[in-house]
Amino acid sequence: MEQTRLNALRRTANNIRLGIIEGVYSAGCGHPGGSLSIADILTYLYFEEMNIDPSNPKWDARDRFVLSKGHTAPALYATLAERGYFPKEELKTLRQIDSHLQGHPEMKNTPGVDMTTGSLGLGFSAACGMALSAKVYGNDYRVYTVVGDGESEEGQFWEASMFAAHYKLDNLVCILDLNGLQIDGPITEVMNPTPHDEKFAAFGWHVITISAHNFDEIEAALAEARTVKGKPTVIIANSVKGKGVSYMENECAWHGQAPKEDLYKVAVADLLAIEKEIK
Amino acid sequence: MTEKKATRESYGAALAELGEKYDFLVLDADLAAATKTGMFKKKFPERFFDCGIAEGNMMSVAAGIATTGKTVFASSFAMFAAGRAYEQIRNSIGYPHLNVKIGATHASITVGEDGATHQCSEDLALMRTIPGMTVINPADATEAYAAVEAAINTYGPVYLRFGRFPVPNLSAELPDYKFEIGRGITYREGTDVALIATGYMVHLAVEAADMLAKEGISASVVNIHTIKPIDRELITETAKKCGAVVTAEEHTVVGGLGSAVCEVLAESCPVPVLRVGVEDKYGRSGKVPALLELYGLTAERIAARAKEAIALKK
């Protein structure tokens, strides 16, 4: 990818990470770790890949996005705000009583949220329903869903995988955020769902494995997915939980807690330092 | 009396016929032959999708389809729709208030020989706890058909309950029969006691009223086909007139019609209410008539409870 475009994406992703920290810090709770791990993927989807119009969030022909790992709503909200769906200032209202930014994504009141999610496994199935509808009614929009590696322990996750392959939903792309950690510890220790690649392949999917923080690889994978016919594509994205914030990286403890003021300042300083490096 | 017909038969016929008039998709979970969605499948194979034995996934898939502006029916047995997929119905369909119609067949003990694991007597209770969910329990074939069309014409999630066992088609005999969601139907006007029934029990309530009439007791009979939103007005009005109420449902007495009627009357017109239904028990295998007898879902039982209710009047 050309350097200017790459730097622009990096800056956007960094702004999204700042938005995540801002939201979670303001709320005093929430899920920063798994939000930071998907920031680059959301950046590419919303700023390069998807056919969307922030001024018309309910546009019929738009590509759809379902954040099946709904607890990482701070990442989705920061991305939507960065893309212009609503003012960035609103990120500070996350989880507040009078805010439209619910603890988990809610489609009725938040512009740009295509599906209500939060209970794990359900969003993946809903994305399948959207993709099926497009096929039945001859619409050419595409459907993207980001799922969690811990989420893949849910039985419904594999029901959805079976369904998507059975109905040849090649307009569906599932991106698995493989950060290796869930609330109780490493996924391989809590309830080992690996290997994901072999499982998805056995279920009839086209499988691509990338680094979740490499824009060239993200771009190549999504381009490849567009060429795959007759089967859905899963992109297994190896990621770092807490990516970008020094003390959160690969730390299970930051799955579901907000930093206090001192650590909030460290997080912001970390991200501002990354921004400087980009220039 | 008209020919007996199971409400599930009417469900399948309604989908197949109304499929010509309305644009909707139908999902099932490997039970198309039993739920009768197979009748729709045969006619509109391109609009029917089997989800296999994965009811949770089916409900969330239905929700996804509905987000694209399409109407969709999702079918299984009541046990696996309201029961197994409760959380998917609540979170994927109910919370975003999506236009999904859940067609649940084989409700409660008239399932018969399959026994307790397949006899869901808790579905109405479960479904009516979901905010914004419309819950309909048709009494007979004519009403089942009308309920399907009304559900299509009403935006939002609707739970439709159908039975496996043939039931007399009383609605077809009513002059000016009109189905309206949330509006109960008065079969008999009486003054001594009100028999408020739903689903399979409606025709038995009518029988009970006939028995009571022979003893000089005047009973009202009301069919509450919509459990939610419930017809508060009609229930209150009938209770005021009669001063005592018996509810009758093929469902647990915990949380279903009986509970809903008690909730209404406790607030609007406190009168004695006795509930006929499955008494906080699991079902079991057996022939349907024997099961109905065993669980007290009979006209005789309704009539007996009616007399007890009258005795409780102050």
Contacts for A36 with CB less than 8 Å, ≥ 6 apart: A17, A20, A75, A241, A242, A243, A244, A245, A248
A155-166 and B55-67 helices cross at what angle (nearest 10)? 60
- CB within 8 Å: A129 and B61: yes
Q: Which of B9, B55, B237, B250 is catalytic?
A: B55
| Cβ separation B47–A136 shorter than 8 A | yes
Mean pLDDT value across chain A:
97
Pair B197, B97 in one domain: no
Residue B48 is part of a domain; what is its CATH number? Answer: 3.40.50.970
| Partner A contacted by B20 (CB < 8 A) | no
Mean pLDDT of A49-73: 98
A156 — contact with chain B (CB < 8 Å)?
A: yes
Asked if residue B244 lies in contact with residue B265, where contact means CB atoms within 8 angstroms, the answer is no
- Chain A (15-54) residues lying within 8 Å, Cβ to Cβ, of chain B: none
Judge if B136 and B276 occupy the same domain.
no
How much is the average pLDDT of B92-114? 97
**What is the number of CB-based contacts under 8 A between chain A and chain B?**
104
Range of the domain at B68: 7-161
Number of domains in chain A: 1
- Of the residues B109, B130, B161, which one is the last residue of a structural domain? B161
Is any Cβ of chain B less than 8 angstroms from the Cβ of A138? no
**Mean per-residue pLDDT for B94-105?**
98
Note whether B135 and B224 are same-domain residues: no
pLDDT digits (tens, 9 = 90+) for A164-211: 999 999 999 999 999 999 999 999 999 999 999 999 999 999 999 999
The ipTM of this complex is 0.97
The domain of A49 spans 3-278
- Are B148 and B272 in a shared domain? no
Strand partners, A67: A146
Residue B122 falls in the annotated catalytic set: no
Q: What is the pLDDT of residues B65-74, one digit of tens each?
A: 999 999 999 9
Here the CATH number for the domain that contains residue B295 is 3.40.50.920
Considering the domain architecture, whether residues B104 and B16 belong to the same structural domain is answered as yes
Residue A87: give its domain's CATH number.
3.40.50.970
% of chain B surpassing 70 pLDDT:
99
Q: How many domains does chain B have?
A: 2
Q: Do the Cβ atoms of B56 and A108 come within 8 Å?
A: no
**Based on the domain organization, do B156 and B70 belong to the same domain?**
yes
The reply to whether B155 and B200 lie within a common domain is no
- Using one digit for the tens of pLDDT, what is the confidence trace for A101-115? 999 999 999 999 999
Tell me what the mean pLDDT of segment B258-270 comes to: 98
Cβ-Cβ contacts under 8 Å for B207 (sequence gap 6 or more): B299, B302
Instruction: Write a three-state SS string for B140-201.
Output: CHHHHHHHHHHHHCCCCCEEEECCCCCECCHHHHCCCCCCCCCCCEEEECCCCEEEEECHHH
